[in-house]
Chains A and B, each alone.
Chain A
C-alpha cells in the first residue's frame, strides 16, 4: 500500500468540527424553545415558539445523525470510545430527542391531550441539552482507555464538573432560544424574550467563568496550553467577551437580529477555545486525531459523496430559512 499523497484526516477533522458547530448553533436555538417552553406566560406564546422552529428543527437534527455516521466513518476510535463511555448519557440524549420530536408532530394535532405534548417537548429538550453539555464536560475530563478500548465505569462521565457543563449548555441554549425568539416574534412574546436575555446571559457567563477556571485543574494539558506563554489563542475568550457585551448592548437598544447573531458569536468563540485547548487530542488524554482516523481509502470513498451532497444540503437549508423568514404568528403556518 503506497502512502497517500494527501492526508485527509485534517479535512475530515474540519468537516466534523464544522458539522458539530452547525448542529450546536442550529439545534441549539430550537432546543432552547423547549427549555423555555413551560416558562412562557401563555399558550399563545408557546404556539409562537413552536411555530418559529417547526419548519427547520428536523433539518437541524440531521446534522447530529450525519455527525454520528461521519464519526464512525472518519474517526472510528472516537465513535467506539465516546459511545460506550457515555452509554447512559447517550440514551438520555436520544430519548429526549425522540420525545421532543414526536411532540413537534402531534402537539398541533392534539386538543385535550395538548398539555402532555407540551411537557414531552419541554422535558425532552431539556434532558437532551443537558446530556449534550455533559458530553462536552466528559470530553474535557478525558476517558479511561486501554489498548484503544474504553475501560472506565458506566457513570464515570457524571461528575460535578460535567453536571456544571450540562447546566451551562442548558443555559446557553436557552439564551440562544430567547434571542432567536426576539427575532421571530413581536408584541408580548417578544417583550418576554427580551426580559429573559440579561438573566440568562449572567448565568451563562458565570458558568463559563467557573468552567474556565476549573478546566486547567481538571486537565494539566489544558493548563499548559493556555499558561505556557501568552499566545494568539487568548484572542478567543476576548472575542467571546466582546460578543457578550454586544448581546447586552443590543438588547438595551431593542435590536431584533443582533442579539441572536451575537449569541452565535459567543458560542463560536467558546467552541474554538475548547478545540484550541485540546488540539490535537480527540480522545483525551491518550489519542490524537491521527490515532483515531480510519483508513485513507475509507475517508476518500465517503468524501467523494459528501462533496456532492453537503453543498446541496446547505443550499436547501438556506432556502428553507429564507422561505420562513420574518415574524411568526400563532395561527399561521402549522396545524
Chain B
C-alpha cells in the first residue's frame, strides 16, 4: 500500500494539536477560576477560599506543565510537515505565533512563580494580582493562537507577491472577519471546561463526604456560573455559525449534511452522509428548521455541498457528525445546569446522589465538545489550509515521504501516550489527596520554580 504523506501529515497534526488542546483549554478556564477564588479570599479574608485556591493551583500546575511539554512539538510541526505553508505565510504567522510564545514566557517569568509558590511569602493582594495576571496572560496567549487560526479561515490584510504573503494591514489581518466569534466561542468553552471540571470534582468530594462544607460552596458557586454560561455559549455558537455561513458556506453545508442548495432545508437529527454518492442515507430531520436557524426565515435558502466540485469539498461525514456531537454536548450542559437550578430548593443538588454522579460524568463533556468543535472547523476548512487560497496539498513539505510521516506519527503517538498516562495518573493522585491538607505548606521545599513542585502528592 502506498503511504500518503499528505494524509499522514494531516492525521499527525490533528493528533498532536488535539492532544495539546485539551491542556490549554482547561488551564485558561482554571486560571480564571483560581483568580476568582483568590479574589474572594482577598476580599473576605476567609481561609476556606485560600484552601480551595491552593488545591486548584496544584491541579493547575500539573495541567500547565503537561501543556508546555506537549506544546513544544507544535512550534516545530509547521516546519517539519508543512514547510511550503510556513514559507508562504511566515510574514504574518511568524510574528503572530512568536508573540504567543513571548507572552507565555513573559507570563511564566513574571507571575506564574508568584502564583504557585508565593502564598504566605507575598501579601495576599499581590498574590491575587499574580493570579489575575496569569489568567489574563492565558487569554492573551489564546488571542494570538486564535488570531492565527482565524486568519487561515478568513484571510485578510495581506497580498501575495511571488507566492509569499505580505502583510499590508496588520489590524485587518489580526482582527480578521471570524476572529471575535472564534475568540468568544473558545473563551466561553474554556470557562465551561473549567466550570464542569470544578463541578465534577466538587461532586466527587461530596459523594466521598470529604471537606463537604467547602465543596458545597464551590459547587453552588460553579452551578450559578454554568447556568449563565451554558446558554450564552449556545447563543455565541449560533452567531459563530452565521459568520461561518457568510464566509465558508460549504463548511456550513457539510455541518448540516445539506448536499443541494435548497429553500426550507430540514434540520437533520440523523443521517449517514455518503461522499461518493453525494447524498445522505437514512435521513431523519425536522422540516425547515435548518433554514430557520441559519437564515431566520422558514423558507430561507441554505447552501449545499454540491456547489463545490467533489475535490473542493470537505469530508462531510466527519464534519456532520463532529458538529452533532458538539451540539449534543452543549445542549446536555445547558440541561445539567438548568436541572441544577431546579434542585436549588432545599439544596437538593448537594444531596441527590444521581445528580452528583451526573456532574462527575459531565467532567468529560467540555473536552469532547471542544475537540468535536475543532474537528468541525478544521476538517470543514478542507481542502484548504488558507481558505480559498492554499490547499493542504500545496502547503505540505515537498520532500516528505509517507515512510517519514508514518515514523513520526507513531513516534509522537508513543511519546504522548507515555506522557499522558503518567500525567493523568499523577493528576488523579493530586485530586485524591484533596483539600484537607493543603494549608500546611513548608516553605523551603518549594523554592525551585517548577510547576509540579507546587503539587504535593507522591507519584507512586
Q: Does B447 contact A (CB under 8 A)?
A: yes
**B-side interface mostly:** helix
Closest to B411 in A: A91
Beyond A111-B458, A113-B460, A298-B95, whether A83 also contacts B79 by CB under 8 A is yes
Q: Point out which of A55, A105, A148 has the most chain B C-beta atoms below 10 A from its C-beta.
A: A105
Contact B459 A111 (CB under 8 A): yes
**A69-B101, A91-B407, A294-B91 are known contacts. Are A101 and B79 too (CB-CB below 8 A)?**
no
Determine the residue in chain A with the shortest Cβ distance to B105. Answer: A62
Which residues on B sit within 8 Å (CB–CB) of A82? 79
A309 touches B102 (CB 8 A): yes
Query: Which stretch, B36-44, B69-77, B375-383, touches the partner chain A?
Result: B69-77
- List residues of B (420-460) whose CB comes within 8 Å of A's CBs: 422-423, 426, 444-445, 447-453, 455, 457-460
Tell me whether B399 and A91 are in contact (CB under 8 A).
Answer: no
Task: Count chain A CB atoms within 10 A of each CB in B106, B400, B404, B448 and give the residue with the most.
Answer: B448
Distance, CA A101 to CA B70, complexed state (A): 11
User: What is the bound-complex CA distance between A91 and B423, given in angstroms?
Assistant: 21
Q: Which of A73, A88, A151 contacts B95 (CB 8 A)?
A: A73
Which interface class (under 10, 10 to 19, 20 to 34, 35 or more) fits B?
Answer: 35 or more
Closest Cβ of chain A to B263, distance in Å, is: 46
Chain B residues in 8 Å Cβ range of A54: 448, 450, 453
Q: Is the pair B90, A97 in contact by a Cβ cutoff of 8 Å?
A: no
Would A83 and B452 count as touching, CB distance under 8 A? no
Q: Is B94's CB under 8 angstroms from A73's CB?
A: yes
Contact A77:B72 (CB < 8 A) given known A302-B94, A324-B448, A335-B445: no
- How many whole Å from B431's CB to the nearest CB in chain A? 15
Let me know if B109 and A316 touch, CB within 8 A.
yes
CB contacts (< 8 Å) of B418 on chain A: these are 99, 102
Q: For the complex, is A213 an interface residue (Cβ under 8 Å from B)?
A: no
Q: How far is the CB of A54 from chain B (nearest CB, A)?
A: 5
Report B-chain residues with C-beta under 8 Å of the C-beta of A302.
Answer: 94-95, 98-99
Query: Are A324 and B87 touching (Cβ within 8 A)?
Result: no
Contacts of B78 in A (CB 8 A): 72, 79
> Smallest Cβ distance from A144 to chain B, in angstroms?
9
B459 to A297, Cβ gap below 8 A?
no
B80 touches A106 (CB 8 A): no
Given contacts A316-B109, A324-B447, A65 and B101 within 8 Å (CB-CB): yes
Q: Say yes or no for A169: interface residue by CB 8 A criterion.
A: no
Contact B79 A80 (CB under 8 A): yes
- Which residue of A is nearest B85, CB measured? A80
- A314 (CB) vs chain B CBs: closest residue: B109
Residues in chain B near residue A324, CB distance under 8 A? 447-448
Quick one: which of A79, A149, A323 has the most chain B CB within 10 A?
Answer: A79
CB distance from B405 to the nearest CB of A (A): 9
Residue from A73, A111, A317 having most chain B Cβ neighbours under 10 A: A73
Give the contacting residue for B460; candidates A83, A98, A111, A152; CB below 8 A: A111
- Could you say which residues of chain B place their CB within 8 Å of the CB of A80? 79, 83-84, 86-87, 90
The verdict on A325 contacting chain B, using a C-beta distance below 8 Å, is no
Chain B residues, Cβ within 8 Å of A323: 447
With beta carbons under 8 angstroms apart, the residue of A66, A90, A106, A335 that contacts B105 is: A66
Whether B75 pairs with A150 at a CB distance below 8 angstroms is no
> Contact: B452 with A105, CB < 8 Å?
yes
> Quick one: closest B residue to A113, CB to CB?
B460
For the complex, what is the distance from the CA of A302 to the CA of B444, rounded to whole Å? 39
Q: Is residue A42 contacting chain B, with contact meaning CB distance below 8 A?
A: no
Interface check B272, CB cutoff 8 A: no
Contacts of B164 in A (CB 8 A): 295
> Is A199 in the interface zone, CB < 8 Å from B?
no
Verify if A58 is at the interface (C-beta below 8 Å from B): yes
Quick one: given A87-B400, A298-B95, A335-B445, are A98 and B101 in contact (CB under 8 Å)? no
- CB-based contact A94/B109 at 8 Å: no
B193 to chain A, nearest CB (A): 23
Question: Measured between alpha carbons, how far is A269 from B455 in the docked complex, in Å?
Answer: 42
Please state if B450 and A79 are interface contacts (CB–CB under 8 Å). no
- The 0/1 profile, CB within 8 Å of A marked 1, for residues 102-139 of chain B is 10011011100000000000000000000000000000
**A-chain residues with CB within 8 Å of residue B287 when the two chains form the complex:** none
Contact of A84 among B72, B79, B451 (CB under 8 A): B79
Asked if B97 is an interface residue, CB under 8 A from chain A, the answer is yes
* Chain A stretch 100-136: residues in CB contact (< 8 A) with chain B: 101-102, 104-106, 108-113
Given contacts A72-B98, A306-B102, contact A334 B448 (CB under 8 A): yes
- Point out which of B399, B407, B408 has the most chain A C-beta atoms below 10 A from its C-beta: B399
- In whole angstroms, how far apart are the Cα atoms of A6 and B368 in the complex? 50
Give CA–CA (A74, B36) in the complex, Å.
Answer: 39
A106 adjacent to B422 (CB under 8 Å): yes
Shortest CB distance A113–B (Å): 5
List, in ascending order, chain B residues with CB within 8 A of A58's CB: 68, 450
Would A87 and B80 count as touching, CB distance under 8 A?
Answer: yes
Task: Please state if B170 and A84 are interface contacts (CB–CB under 8 Å).
Answer: no
B459 contacts A110, CB within 8 Å? Answer: yes
In chain B, what residue has the closest Cβ to A144? B399
Tell me the bound Cα distance from A305 to B98 in angstroms: 10
A70 lies within 8 A of chain B by Cβ: yes
Question: Mask for A299-335, Cβ within 8 A of B = 1, else 0?
Answer: 0011001100100110011001001100000001111
A73 near B458: Cβ-Cβ < 8 Å = no
CB within 8 Å for A73 and B398 given contacts A98-B419, A301-B95, A334-B453: no
By a CB distance below 8 angstroms, the chain A residues around B460 are 110-113
| Distance to closest chain B CB from A163 (angstroms) | 19
Closest 9 CB pairs of A and B: A83-B79, A73-B94, A76-B90, A55-B448, A109-B459, A80-B87, A302-B95, A80-B83, A110-B459
Which residues from chain B sit less than 8 Å from chain A, CB to CB? 65, 68-70, 72-73, 75-76, 78-80, 83-84, 86-87, 90-95, 97-102, 105-106, 108-110, 164, 166-167, 170, 397-401, 403-404, 407-408, 411-412, 415, 418-419, 422-423, 426, 444-445, 447-453, 455, 457-460
Q: A84-B398, A302-B94, A316-B110 are in contact. List 17 more A-B contacts (CB 8 A).
A: A55-B449, A62-B105, A69-B97, A69-B101, A72-B79, A79-B78, A80-B84, A87-B400, A98-B69, A98-B72, A108-B453, A110-B459, A148-B87, A149-B398, A154-B399, A302-B95, A335-B453
> What are 22 of the A-B contact pairs (CB < 8 Å)?
A54-B453, A65-B75, A72-B78, A73-B95, A76-B86, A76-B87, A79-B90, A83-B79, A84-B79, A87-B400, A98-B69, A98-B415, A102-B419, A112-B460, A150-B83, A150-B397, A294-B91, A312-B106, A316-B109, A316-B110, A323-B447, A333-B445
